[in-house]
Structure 1
């Protein structure tokens, strides 16, 4: 049975392309690749793919909630985004420790759900959805992950463990 290898791109219908462009390019750091009078193409790694995200102005369809997930390289990046999300006043739906990743789910300016997350390298069966406090120090968050593994009886290296 065929399966997808990875996400190719996400397309969002938006009401105000300029506000959304500021959010995705300036706040999340994506690069504008192409643009016309009603569409903007953005990429997180422009050398790898033409675009990861298409913002298309469509006032009739823009009120349908949509969802996007973005992988972050480090726990530090996640904590930094969390602080900026609070600073900007975006609505946070939840912050979750999934064992294999820690994610912050919040709403963009047009109320789409956005997740920014960091892979922990723990092999953890899903669903796993514990609340975690991203204001804790990085060392304490890593301790929480270690405690999670230990409570499941796992003393394997992080990349080999399951919880």
Structure 2
């Protein structure tokens, strides 16, 4: 049987005014800013349980463009499940956007049949408060993948919840 997702992880929304939207979800809704960069904020209602449930990302399209969803993200239980989805995405011919280490998770990003950005991710067990997105090859053996993820985590493990990294570190944490 093929791997299945275990639940919704988070949703990403494109925004025009990152500060105003962050303040709304933090101050009005009551969420906690867990991760922050110049281009986005991640928020959680319960940071002890999950590092983010909403991702706010600068770059909302024009009023004529209906694509406001930045991503729909769903969890899987194991690295093997993530690799299974990765293979199925490729075999089914869905557009594969990228596969990246977030240190706290590995995400496989692709498009659903209507072009909506979709992510299936596996939580690595590393707590990370940095916004990390570094390409990773899921065709590698598990031990090599896990070593790369640990290396990514080592770079950002000192960041505290809601802390924005300096520009030099931010440049190393987000690669295409």
Please tell me the TM-score bracket, short chain as reference: 0.5 to 0.7
Shift of 1:146: 3.0
Partner of residue 104 from structure 1, selected from 108, 111, 114? 108
- Residue equivalent to 1:146: 150
Shift of 1:121: 1.2
Q: Secondary structure at the match of 1:136?
A: coil
How many matched pairs?
A: 101
Determine whether 1:73 maps to 2:73.
no
Larger radius of gyration: 1
Question: For 1:74-126, what per-residue CA distance to the aligned partner results, in whole angstroms no more than 9, with x for missing partners?
Answer: 01100110000000011011111010110011001110111000011112222
Shift of 1:153: 8.4
- Residue equivalent to 1:137: 141
Q: Is the CA contact 2:73–2:121 (under 8 Å) kept in the aligned structure 1?
A: yes
1:72–1:86: structure 2 CA closer, same or farther, 3 Å change rule?
A: same
In 2, Cα distance between equivalents of 1:150 and 1:69: 25
Higher RCO by CA contacts (8 Å cutoff, separation 6 or greater): 2
Partner of residue 131 from structure 2, selected from 119, 127, 130? 127
When normalised by structure 1's length, the TM-score is 0.53
Question: For 1:114-147, what per-residue CA distance to the aligned partner results, in whole angstroms no more than 9, with x for missing partners?
Answer: 1000011112222111110011111211121233
Partner of residue 64 from structure 1, selected from 57, 61, 66? 66
When normalised by structure 2's length, the TM-score is 0.50
